[in-house]
Each structure stands twice: as structure tokens, then as C-alpha cells.
Amino acid sequence: MSGSDSLPATPSAMPWIGMPCAALESCMATEGLSPTHARTLFRLLHRELDPRPQDSPAALPPLRRWLATRPWVQEPVISVASEVASSDGLTRKFLLRLADGQTVETVLMGFTGRHTACVSTQAGCAMGCVFCATGQMGFVRNLTSAEIVAQVHHVQAALRASGQGELRNLVLMGMGEPLNNYDTVMTALEILCDRRGVNLGPSRITISTVGVVPGIRRMARERCPYPLAVSLHGSTDEERSALIPAGRRWPLAELLEACRKYTVATGHRIFVEWTLIDGCNDSAEHAVRLGALLQGIPSHVNLIPLNPTDAFKGAATGSSAAQAFQRVLREAGIPSTLRQRRGIDVAAGCGQLRAERIAA
């Protein structure tokens, strides 16, 4: 919930990779180093992913001397607790350990040769969606910008090590509700979009929310350049709230009005996430109601068959029923994509790998 905004992030996390270049310049200027040295350090940390910038030939003597007295610059923010790969080789899931021992999940997906990272923004989550393993474990704390950036660095390094090129797309769809950690998330994305670093394009980053209306309104006000995905999953407030408790706080009418304003202010369409659950929200009537809700809102629906978790007894909609649902949306003029259930054998739903490791 939004109350989690006020909870402190861990103070022990190394801040360097969590600072935008301008902040790094100001910080180093107070210690007598020129902006050139700060920009060199930023490039070494974010473009080269250099674990020992003080040894780099690109670092001039004043920067090297300065770094030599700051050994914590090379301390990693995260370490790998475990890694699994799907049998089709298209998905790798990392369980990453943070400095305070918390663990978060990061996923690398390699569909069509265009790699996408899915990162976490919180340890645990307060939103309690009933079908989500993270929601079932509860909220622990917000991640720092350094911890969000470090997940992307980890995936980028894994891609380079396996000769698969560079990361192209990023989705904030891992553990946690990104809009409940708004400022930190936006700082991390500023860093990741910096041309001197990872250099992701803002239009290739998708922020996924369960429907935190104040955050969506803020994205609209700030004309946020990042695409937005909103989880609906239910076509009435009652139906939706049974799956997503946040639906009680922000009813559909309020949520969709915020989405409409976001599309007007930013010029982006909205991605609507719809988890298809057998016998729960996958009938033709549900599709008709969803189509009606989205009239007048530039949108694209992602239909995702449920990933089963131990604590939620629902099953995924079968492929013919999913296709029928999609047909109804098409007749209503709403574009959609039926997602494949990739990575099911690596516990692909968010929080599942962590839950399994804790249970093991």
C-alpha cells in the first residue's frame, strides 16, 4: 500500500550505482573532483559494468587515487543466491541476495532474440493479489535505486558473458508494486536511460501497476515517458476486488479515468494485463464487459493464462477458451495479444522462485 512509501530503504546498500550522473558530479565536486572524473566513473560503472573502476586505464590518476580510498565502490549491491533456466532455454530466473539478506527475483526473457529483463522494485509486496506468490508473502521493504539498477546490470552482464548482445527491453513487473516506490523507481529509470550508461530507450521500459491511482495520476501530471501496464483481471469491482484487494481502494471507474488521463497527457496507449483464470474471469460475458470498459481509452490487452501457485487453487484458461475471449475483444475493437506461458518450469510467476527456495 502507499504507506510503504514511508518505510526506509536499507541504509547499507552502496549508493554509487543508484546516483544519476548529475548527482554523482555534485557529490564528487564536494571532494574536489571535476565533472569529467564523475562522468568517467559513471561510464565505467554503468556502460562497462567494471567491477574495479580504480584499475581501469580510463580512470585518470586523481580519480584512481580517490577511488583507492573508497573500497566500498567495488562492493556489489547484490549477489546471486540461485539461478534456474527454463527447459526451452528462453527464460533465466535469478534469485538475487541484497546486502541485508533479503532476496528478490529478476528474470531474463529471450523471446525473438530481443532480450527483456523483468526486475523487482520491492522486497515482497503489500498489495496481496491472491494469485501472486509475492503477494502471499507480504511486504518487507522498498528497494533502493542502486538495488533496482544492479538487477539490470546483472542481466546485462549475463547477456554479455553468453555472447547474446545487449539488453533491449525492461519491464517493472517483478516483485513489488513500482508505484508504491515511485521516486526511487524514477531515479533508477533515469540512470538506466542515460546514454553514457545502459542507455535503454524510455519507450522500451514498461511500468506495471496493479492500479495505484495516485501513481498513475502522477505519471500523467509529469508526462512520464514510460509505457504503463495496468492489471485489471476483473470486469466489475466485485470480481476484481476478489483477486486484487487494491480494487476496493480504487474502484474501476476511478482507475480507468486515471488511465484515460494518462493516455491523453502522454500520448501512450495503456497495456491492460488480464490473467485468464479458468471459470473465473474468462467467459464471453467477461470479454464483452472488458471491451465496454475500454471503449474510448487507447489500449492493448495482454491475455496471460494463470501461472499456478500453491496458495491459489485456480487453473489457467485452456487455449480454445482463451482464443474465444480474444475474439470477443477483437469484435469490440480492442487489440490484444494472447501470451504464451513461457518459463512455467522455472516458477515464472513473480515471487515463486523465492517462495520455493524458502520452502526448500
- Biggest CA–CA distance in the chain, Å, is 69
* Contacts (Cβ under 8 Å, ≥6 apart) of 161: none
Residue count, binding to ligand SF4 (CB under 6 A): 12
Q: Work out whether 177 is an interface residue with ligand SF4 (CB under 6 A).
A: yes
Buried b (16+ CB within 10 A) or exposed e, 261-278: bbbeebebbbbbbbbbbe
Q: Sign of the CA dihedral 114, 150, 7, 139?
A: positive
In the shown chain, the binding pattern of residues 202 to 231 toward ligand SF4, with x for contact by CB under 6 A and - for none, equals --------x---------------------
Give the closest residue to 104 by CA, choosing from 74, 135, 81: 81
Distance between CA atoms of residues 55 and 289, nearest Å: 61
What's the closest the beta carbon of residue 137 comes to ligand SF4, in angstroms? 9
The smaller minimum CB distance to ligand SF4, of residues 43 and 233, is found at 233
Question: Which residue of the chain is nearest ligand SF4 when measured via CB?
Answer: 135
Q: Are 220 and 230 in contact (CB under 8 A)?
A: no
Q: Work out whether 24 is an interface residue with ligand SF4 (CB under 6 A).
A: no
Q: Sign of the CA dihedral 97, 99, 102, 106?
A: negative
Record the cell numbers describing residue 194, joined without a space: 542515460
Q: Work out whether 178 is an interface residue with ligand SF4 (CB under 6 A).
A: no
Catalytic site residue 224?
no
Q: Give the number of other Cβ atoms within 10 Å of residue 72's Cβ.
A: 8
What's the closest the beta carbon of residue 77 comes to ligand SF4, in angstroms? 21
Q: Work out whether 143 is an interface residue with ligand SF4 (CB under 6 A).
A: no
Catalytic site residue 105?
yes
What's the closest the beta carbon of residue 132 comes to ligand SF4, in angstroms? 3
Binding residue (CB under 6 A) for ligand SF4 from 45, 152, 175, 303: 175
What's the closest the beta carbon of residue 218 comes to ligand SF4, in angstroms? 17
Q: How far is CA 79 from CA 70, 82, 352, 356, in A?
A: 20, 9, 19, 18
**Amino acid letter at 47?**
R
In the shown chain, the binding pattern of residues 313 to 352 toward ligand SF4, with x for contact by CB under 6 A and - for none, equals -------------------------------------x--
Q: Work out whether 176 is an interface residue with ligand SF4 (CB under 6 A).
A: yes
Distance between CA atoms of residues 132 and 136, nearest Å: 6
The smaller minimum CB distance to ligand SF4, of residues 110 and 124, is found at 124
In the shown chain, the binding pattern of residues 110 to 139 toward ligand SF4, with x for contact by CB under 6 A and - for none, equals ---------------x-xxx--x-xx----
* Catalytic residue positions, numbered: 105, 350
Residues of this chain that bind ligand SF4 (CB under 6 A): 125, 127-129, 132, 134-135, 175-177, 210, 350
